[in-house]
Structures are given as C-alpha cells and as structure tokens.
C-alpha cells in the first residue's frame, strides 16, 4: 500500500520492494491509497471503519484460518 501523496522516491522504493518479494515467489499486490502518505496509512490501519483497517482485518482473518507449515 502506497499513499497517493508520497514522493516519487518513496513510490520507487515501494515498487522495488514489491518486485523483490515477487521474484522470491511471494504473492504481492500493490494498491494506491487516495490522499494517503506513510503516516496517515499507518494510522488508518488502527482506525475502525477505514478501508485500511478492513484490509488488515481481512488479511489477519485469512491468515488465521491457515494451518502452520
């Protein structure tokens, strides 16, 4: 998740990290958070009712249903 308001260097770094994870065979998806930056997006992870909090909840709920390997 990258905030729409991030600087170009921040977005480049985020995309490079995404590519590194993908090369390792990990499932990766990029999303752009409207009117967000690296401070507001982290805050919104903990604010009930925000799209980011809902995405975090769905991620944790899905992971909790999987058996450890």
Q: How far apart are CA 51 and CA 66, in angstroms?
A: 23
Asked if pLDDT for residue 23 goes beyond 70, the answer is yes
Asked if pLDDT for residue 11 goes beyond 90, the answer is yes
pLDDT-based confidence at residue 64 (cuts at 50, 70, 90): low
Residue-level pLDDT at 50: 92
Residue-level pLDDT at 65: 58
Q: How far apart are CA 13 and CA 49, in angstroms?
A: 29
Say if pTM beats, i.e. exceeds, 0.85: no
- C-beta of residue 37 within 8 angstroms of C-beta of residue 52: no
Asked if pLDDT for residue 30 goes beyond 90, the answer is no
């Amino acid at each position: 998740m990258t905030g729409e308001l991030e600087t170009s260097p921040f977005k480049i770094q985020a995309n490079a990290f995404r590519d590194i994870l993908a090369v390792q065979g990990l499932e990766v998806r990029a999303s752009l958070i409207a009117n967000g930056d690296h401070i507001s997006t982290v805050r919104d992870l903990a604010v009930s009712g925000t799209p980011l909090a809902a995405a975090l909840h769905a991620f944790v709920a899905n992971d909790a249903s999987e058996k450890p390997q």
